[in-house]
Amino acid sequence: TLRLAVLASGRGSNLQAILDAIASGALDASIVGLWSDRRDAFALERARAAGVPAHVVRPRDHADRAAHDAALFGSIDATGADLIVCAGYMRLIGASAVAARPGRMINIHPSLLPLFKGLHTHQQALDAGVTEHGASVHVVTADLDAGPVLAQARVPVLPGDDADTLAARVLEREHPLLVQTLHTIATGRLVPGAEMARLDGAPLAAPLQL
Ligand code: GAR
């Protein structure tokens, strides 16, 4: 059983998708804790409702990023988590914290990476005039939204879309995308750490299309 540590900053609908998949038996995993950088994150409520320990580790309670990372990852590591899942975690993680856990952190990002890194991805897609958009699950590396892409889901951009309608269409696909990717990892068919190694010269595997 894959032991997951989940990080979330807000609504937590991706966390809920993981919880639901575990509860239904679709995903052989357990969530050892939910960590948030915000006390008002609804993700905390969702975790508590499911009996998952909910932790708040706020940047403002620490002197700098290194101290915040040390507190956050110290708490996570104490649980013996196999994989750290950033599910709507809206904060940069320091390079040394990432480097200390090579291939053990993944992130879901609302764009077809390498397009539209960072924030406001749906508006970025509209501004660029693309006809296709979506979401990616990738390995977290020191560079923002730039680690190897493990899986993607695609949606059309439709006439009349605004950032909200597009975000809703993408979000609906994010939930199965994240769950399916975790299932593929839990069943040993995908090893995020092995995909990391490919960065050293070998061509990247084509991401799963989900
Ligand atoms: C999701 O769309 C996720 O892809 C995005 O935030 C949303 C969180 O929703 N993540 C990022 O933008 C990461 N930079 P949720 O809290 O309902 O899961």
Burial 181-197 (b: 16+ CB within 10 A, else e): bbbbbbeeebebeebbe
Most informative mutation of 6, 7, 9, 13 for ligand 1 (most atoms within 8 A of CB): 13
ipTM of the complex: 0.99
pLDDT tens, position by position, 42-99: 999 999 999 999 999 999 999 999 999 999 999 999 999 999 999 999 999 999 999 9
Most informative mutation of 44, 90, 175 for ligand 1 (most atoms within 8 A of CB): 90
The span from the CA of 149 to the CA of 147, in Å, is: 6
What's the 90 CA to ligand 1 centre distance in angstroms?
Answer: 8
The tens-digit pLDDT sequence of the chain (210 residues) is: 999 999 999 999 999 999 999 999 999 999 999 999 999 999 999 999 999 999 999 999 999 999 999 999 999 999 999 999 999 999 999 999 999 999 999 999 999 999 999 999 999 999 999 999 999 999 999 999 999 999 999 999 999 999 999 999 999 999 999 999 999 999 999 999 888 776 555 555 578 888
Residues with CB under 6 A from ligand 1: 8, 10-14, 87-88, 90, 108-110, 135, 171, 174
What pTM value is reported for the model? 0.96
